[in-house]
Structure 1
Amino acid sequence: MVFHPPPWVPPLPGDHRGGVLNNQVSLGVLPFSHIYGLVVVAHVAHYRGDEVIVLQKFQLDQLLAAIQRFKIEVLYVVPPILVQLLSNHDKCKKYDLSSVRLAFSGAAPLGSEASHKMLELFPKWKISQGYGLTEASPSVLHSSETDSLMGSSGSLLPGVKAKIIDQYGKEVTEHETPGELYVQSPNITLGYLNNEKANAETFVWDKDGRWLRTGDEVLVRKSPGGFELFVVVDRIKELIKVKGHQVAPAELEAHLLDHPYVSDCAVIGVHDDRAGEVPLAFVVKSKEASGLSTEEVERSIHEHVESHKARHKWLKGGIRFLELVPKSPSGKILRRLLRSQAVPVSKKELAKL
């Protein structure tokens, strides 16, 4: 099944309304060396005529002060920034954030649990998501402010076609069935210069033409308005294979962030002789965890996961505590660094399972 854009066009945040361009004050904290910040903030926002408040880097107090001082209306952010707002809600209360109308998240999936929590703490905000990649120049999906679904990255942008291919190479034709997202549009790159191997792996042809394999697992879900919206599950190469089951780190991370003792986290898969892989969580403790022993915090987190998730999603690889989750300038978790930390520890732990 080939998916097409909906009959309505999902507008960019603050786009034309009633034929009149509504200029807005937008946040420019994302690095312009990344495709999201470069196109959406540096190019599109200026093309619209917006006032963009550029911060040198993300620092929570500076961001909050900028919102208050410049009456910023739209926050172009990545999930880790929203996590910091959730974890420091008491600090947020010290600033006037009433100007904010929309928080638009991209670069990585923002789970429905985190989205709902954002709305609980900031009820006057709208939470929206988009999805894209450098090879698509960059946008593929975009949420509508009028027909959104928590955890969804929205619907296809005009000119974009998509299909979903399951792990057996068959096209997905049903809702709620995951598979790899393939996209086709005029803005897809011609290919990688002098890298035929990457071109052969990334671009495929069929009767419908040339497709870009995104490497991301998605599923389609019906919105309240009856439209087909895409939910980005995770990078396929990041999925944890537990006894034949696929576990998305992003799902577990979103659930862990709902725990009061967790300020930030990351989940990776580690080897297990019986299960193939098992999830291991790296956790940054919140202020609420101060005064508690490591064992108490660990036990509480395990109970939180085991009371809400299927058995194969339990943290059988254990929990490791650290001061900071390593992330790229665009906000993506640097799992390769966590894997290097996990190797000497996980072997010892897995022997106890």
Structure 2
Amino acid sequence: MPFYPPSWVPKLPFDPPDSIPICDFMLEETWGRHPLGYSRPPFTCGLSGKAYSSLEVRERVDYLARALSKELGWSPNSGSEWDKVIGVFSVNTLDTLPLAWATHRLGGIQSPANAAYSAAELEYQLKNSGATVLFTCVPLLSIAKEAAKKAGIPDNRIYILDLPKEFTGGKTAPNGMKTVDNLISEGEKLPRLEPLAWKSGDGARKTAFLCYSSGTSGLPKGVMISHRNVIANTLQIAAYEKKFRDAKIGVGNQSDYIENALGLLPMSHIYGLVVICHASVYRGDGVVVLPKFEFATTLQAIESYKINSLYLVPPIIILMTKNKDTLAKYDLSSVWSIFTGAAPLGQETAEDLQNIFPSWKIRQGYGLTETSTVVCSSSPDDIWFGSSGSLLPGIECKIVTPEGKEVTGYDEPGELLVKSPSVVLGYLNNDKANKETFQDGYMLTGDEAVIRKAPSGYEHVFIVDRIKELIKVKGHQVAPAELEAHLLTHPAVNDCAVIQVPDDAAGEVPKAFVVKSPAVGLEENDRVLARNIQKHVEEHKARYKWIVGGIEFIDAIPKSPSGKILRRYLRDKEKEARRAKGAKL
């Protein structure tokens, strides 16, 4: 049977419009956006303090669209969106989203790339997306140029997103290269563009963002995210959170409460792109933009800009719980809410953070690029550590066992299937992946989940782990995320990851890769320390969950920029080591 949002979750205020571009939805007040003149500056640089008001951002988007139209020969109503693909390879900047909205104003597509990419990885995305233009930033310019050249993008179609000198070390765009500010100055002198002549359904059919995801398996695939997908999830988040935002001021008008949000996570990732940069701005909040994560810089920005909501990923939360003395040096009293996603946050880690900050609401959400983005989220009034909260309005889901049986009750695991107006159009030029992932109106997530009833009486979604990463010990399923969360409670463990290794008797057993805490002395014996960590698990977990495959100490756990543990790298490392020893693979 399908599962639906709890009774307390309101319905959407109106159906997500399907005939407008994202830029109109975000920069006009027609569709419920917080009044522009009474919003906080949408984006403020957390290093320099530079900011533009909502009205100024709307003006900058207009001027930038005019300049791009002349520069590139693109007009709003000519050609397909696939003729107007702009690649973006940059750290976070004040103009990353205004550039996207200017692209949408021309009926084009923005394809954001991970700022940690190598030239070869960026080249793949540029070629696969069909991008003919690339925006980058000064620190990444050499990689961008190398990739662009191999992808057939000439130097005169590479442009620079401006960054504060505090970040670039005083370096500016090379002579002859145009920046976003240059383009906006040119656009101010150009005539207005013709309006987009969209008919009903165009917003649901046309791609706005082409983000790249591995999906449930394989190489990164271009995920076609429509205008309506982003609009729908923005409305879903706003409607879901209206009740407790209203409660902060004791009235029934959401538009009266606005706050500052942390804009640290990559704007190239769906979490940063939709949850932070669209939902926050739509509600009138300000996003304090940081180009990269540095612990002290982030804490200082929270103090200086009195940030209220922190959008984080588990590795940063783990770092916070391991560095209480550093936290104590900063005034974090403005914070009331933590929201985490992109990877599971273990119950133990959440409890550790709550002990440090008892008043903080520690919330978790779940979503994917393919659901653009949030599927479920914790309400501040109904937090259950380990849970990813309840379904957002307009979403339904199913749990299906490996045998194809549809789960009808609680506490029975299976693959999570999601139906929502935010579920994307599909993967670009990949019929095989589309058939595997999108079936009968549902998106097959590849994640194992279980529905449980919270003490409050409401249904919560628990994400157990990626189905392909679950460890099968004598028929029992062991979730790496559960063991990782428990290992992190050991004082000698600074970070960790768990994978499966072959075992003659059990089929598979867990093995842990551990980064030692700085508190561990050099004189401590690794063998003794490893056994001590294993005992920590044995004292608290069922026998089949014990770390029988051993403990291996490493310098760092491989992770994506969004905080996901890249276990496949560790599995490959383990296979190579076992092959070298002639062991069974």
TM-score above 0.5: yes
Distance in 2 (alpha carbons) for counterparts of 1:141 and 1:92: 29
Where do residues 309-328 of structure 1 align in structure 2 (5 Å cutoff)? 309-328=541-560
Which letter maps to 2:371? Answer: A
Distance 1:158 1:201 in 2: 26
Q: Which amino acid aligns with 1:307?
A: E
1:187 to 404, 407, 422: 422
Structure 2: gaps of 5 or more residues: 10-239
Equivalent pairs, count: 348
Alignment of 1:246-265 (within 5 A): 246-265=477-496
Q: Which residue of 2 aligns with 1:230?
A: 461
Q: 1:12 to 1:192 in 2, by over 3 A?
A: farther
Is the CA contact 2:400–2:416 (under 8 Å) kept in the aligned structure 1? Answer: yes
Deviates more, 1:104-113 or 1:265-274: 265-274
* Structure having the higher Rg: 2
Q: Is 2:239 the partner of 1:4?
A: no
Q: Aligned equivalents of 1:319 and 1:36: distance in 2?
A: 32
227-236 vs 272-281, which deviates more?
272-281
Unaligned 5+ runs, structure 1: none
Paired amino acid for 1:257? L
Paired residue type of 2:372 = S
**Per-residue deviation, residues 264-300 of structure 1 (Å, max 9, x unmatched):** 1111112223322211111111133224221232111
Q: Is the 8 A contact 1:317 1:346 kept in 2?
A: no
- Verify the 8 A CA contact 1:269 1:280 in the aligned structure 2: yes
**TM-superposition CA deviations, 1:19-76 (whole Å, max 9, x none):** 1431111111100110000001111111112121111111111111111221111100
- Structure 1 residue 127: deviation in Å? 0.4
Distance in 2, matches of 1:76 and 1:274, equals 44
Q: Which amino acid aligns with 2:405?
A: K
Larger strand fraction of residues:
1
Give the aligned CA root-mean-square deviation in angstroms.
1.9
Q: Secondary structure at the match of 2:481?
A: helix
1:346 and 1:102 map into 2 onto residues whose CA distance is 45
What is the CA–CA distance in structure 2 between the aligned matches of 1:269 and 1:137, rounded to whole Å? 31
Q: Distance in 1 between the 2:344 and 2:294 partners?
A: 22
3-state SS in 2 of match to 1:68: helix
On the 8 A contact 1:101/1:126 being kept in 2, the answer is yes
**C-alpha contact (below 8 Å) 2:510/2:546 kept by paired residues:** yes
Query: Is the 2:368–2:374 contact (alpha carbons within 8 Å) kept by the matching residues of 1?
Result: yes
Q: 2:572 is matched with which residue: 331, 340, 350?
A: 340
Residue by residue over 1:138-182, the C-alpha shift from the partner in whole angstroms, topping out at 9 and shown as x without a partner, is 111011110121111111111101110112111112211111111
Paired residue secondary structure (1:287): coil
- Contact 2:447–2:466 at 8 Å: present in 1 too? yes
Pairing 1:204-215 to 2, within 5 Å after superposition: 204-205=439-440, 210-215=441-446
Residues in 2 aligned to 1:301 and 1:285: alpha-carbon distance in whole angstroms:
11
d(CA) in 2 for partners of 1:331 and 1:121? 22
Matched residue SS, 1:289: coil
The aligned counterpart of 1:114 is 349
Cα distance, 1:350–1:25 mapped onto 2, change above 3 Å = farther
Residue 240 in 1 paired to residue 471 in 2? yes
> Are 1:331 and 2:526 an aligned pair?
no
- Spell out the pairing of 1:292-307 with structure 2 (5 A cutoff): 292-307=524-539
> Take 1:348 and 1:101, find their aligned partners in 2: how far apart are those partners?
51
* Structure 1: distance between partners of 2:582 and 2:455: 44
The one-letter code sitting in structure 2 at the alignment partner of 1:120 is N
Quickly say closer, same or farther: Cα 1:66–1:350, change in 2 above 3 A: farther
Whether contact under 8 Å (1:128, 1:145) holds in the other structure is: yes
Please give the alpha-carbon distance, in whole angstroms, between the structure 1 residues aligned to 2:492 and 2:277: 37
Letter in 2 for 1:72: I
Contact 1:218 1:233 (8 Å CA) reproduced: yes
Instruction: Give the Cα separation in 2 of the matches to 1:24 and 1:14.
Output: 13
What TM-score comes out, normalization by structure 2 length? 0.57
* Residue 399 of structure 2 is aligned to residue 167 of structure 1: no
Moved more, 185-194 or 293-302: 185-194
Q: How far 1:201 moved relative to its partner? A: 1.0
SS of residue matched to 1:218: strand
**Residue equivalent to 1:132:** 367
Distance 1:108 1:98, change over 3 A: same
Matched position secondary structure for 1:149: coil
Contact 1:6 1:155 in 2 (8 A): yes
